[in-house]
Structure 1
Amino acid sequence: MTEENLRSLIRQIVTECADTNADPNAIPIGISNHHIHLSQADFDQLFPGQQMEKFKQLKQPGEFASKQTCDIIGPKGTIKHVRVLGPCRSHSQVEIANSETFTLGVPAPIRLSGHLDGTPSVKLRTKDGEVTVQGVIVAKRHIHMSLEDAKRFGVKLGDTMMVEINSDGRHTIYDDVIARPRKDFTLEMHLDTDEASAANVKPTTVAHIIPRVQSTF
């Protein structure tokens, strides 16, 4: 690790610790740009003879953005140079924003990752290969959290939460955010670029869960 990278890591840790101490219920927001998950077979077809190379570590353990990119080709248009995320999965999947469904001309449904039944297909192309992938979705907004976080927030896997985001000039409430706790997850709310733009999310913007009122009648 270079000295510059070490200093960057220390700054990140200090910032995250400061944010947590200031507001332990604050949930960091990760803006999810369009991206691609590939099976090993599809990766080999698109990038023959290559290994997936890490470009940037992502916040969730073991996940990273790779150096490899490819074009997404739909019936009406193309999105070029879309980042491939690693590691490889059992089934390829393409995640786009809702506004990009018009660019590609595909009726991508809003789904949680991995829920691919009945989803449309697109072509993925590099200079070395091409594959057709059935599995285009607009990712449903969700919060990654540890099991301890889930206990603290009073939610379990698959629960629907109400979440508010206060940003400069915007107060946004989302009433259908899915809880995704797992032992090794790091606390982070995922929004796509459309949702983040609508809520005016900035790098320092955080979210808060709104407790649901239980009726006594």
Structure 2
Amino acid sequence: MKDDRKSALYLAITEAVMEEIKANQIEVVQEESLLRVPVSISARHVHLEKVHADILFGKEYEFQKHRDISQPGQYACVEQVTIVGPKSSIERVRIVAPLRRQTQVEVSRTDAIKLGIQPPVRHSGDVAGSAPITIIGPKGKIHLKEGCIIADRHIHMSPADANTFGVANHQKVQVEVDGEKAGVMGNVTIRVSERYALDMHIDTDDANAFAIKGTEYLTLIK
């Protein structure tokens, strides 16, 4: 009888311990998942204001969707342009719609070296004092005295996402990358808006440096 009671007691203890381990493992997995964000690779592209769209493609031209991108309402267009710097040019650069209040060209550092320009690392929309560049379309061309930037690393979040992650608009965080070329990316800007869907944006240079394909989930480090 004693042996039977001991066996039953050991079994009860083991089951209790296993339940506790299982519960803790589930909690840890959930906690880690809350800190992970999807990542997208943003290749060189152009945002156009209405007057420049008219010059490059013709009056009241309607852009055709190539594919949706991660942020609601935005899409890469079928239409492409050529961007020109002092040293060289790059063809087949996609337009991203819808139209904006100000024309902006986003390139990587590698692109900038090829073009012979020195664009600053900036938030999207912050083009004052940025690099000059020429854009050539099928109907005409424009020369921007400023407007070319290298986009900063950033994570789009809704207010609910920001609350979940415990971060604030414009806060700088780090993001950890796993895999064959693991590492940590610093100076990642949090951007919060009701219009945003959760997604981290990096350029092609960062993607190549960390061997990121754009299908991964990366870990946010506050």
- What TM-score bracket applies, with the shorter chain setting the length? 0.7 to 0.9
Structure 1 residue 64, shift from structure 2 partner: 0.6
Structure 1 residue 190, shift from structure 2 partner: 0.4
- Aligned residue in 2 for 1:94: 105
Listed one character per residue, the Cα deviations across residues 47-101 of structure 1 (whole Å, up to 9, x for unaligned) are 0042111111111011011111100011100000100000000110000001111
Give TM-score, length-normalised by structure 2. Answer: 0.82
- Aligned residue in 2 for 1:44: 54
- Of all paired residues, the percent bearing the same amino acid is 33
Structure 1 residue 199, shift from structure 2 partner: 0.6
- Amino acid paired to 1:80: E
- Aligned residue in 1 for 2:188: 177
Paired residues of 1:166 and 1:205 also in contact (CA < 8 A): no
Listed one character per residue, the Cα deviations across residues 130-168 of structure 1 (whole Å, up to 9, x for unaligned) are 01122000000000011111011111111001111112x
Computing the radius of gyration from Cα coordinates, the structure with the larger value is 2
The RMSD of aligned alpha carbons is: 1.6
Query: How far apart in 1 are the matches of 2:197 and 2:156?
Result: 6
Query: How far apart in 1 are the matches of 2:143 and 2:69?
Result: 26
- Aligned residue in 2 for 1:195: 206
Query: How far apart in 1 are the matches of 2:213 and 2:102?
Result: 32
Query: How far apart in 1 are the matches of 2:132 and 2:186?
Result: 29
Query: How far apart in 2 are the matches of 1:155 and 1:147?
Result: 10
Matches within 5 A, 1:43-192: 43-49=53-59, 50-133=61-144, 134-167=146-179, 169-192=180-203
Give TM-score, length-normalised by structure 1. Answer: 0.84
User: Relative to total residues, which structure has the larger helix share, 1 or 2?
Assistant: 2
| Residues paired across the two proteins, number | 191
Structure 1 residue 24, shift from structure 2 partner: 3.9
Query: How far apart in 2 are the matches of 1:68 and 1:210?
Result: 38
* Structure 2 residues without counterparts, runs of 5 or longer: 1-29
Query: How far apart in 2 are the matches of 1:143 and 1:91?
Result: 22
* Structure 1 residues without counterparts, runs of 5 or longer: 1-19, 212-217
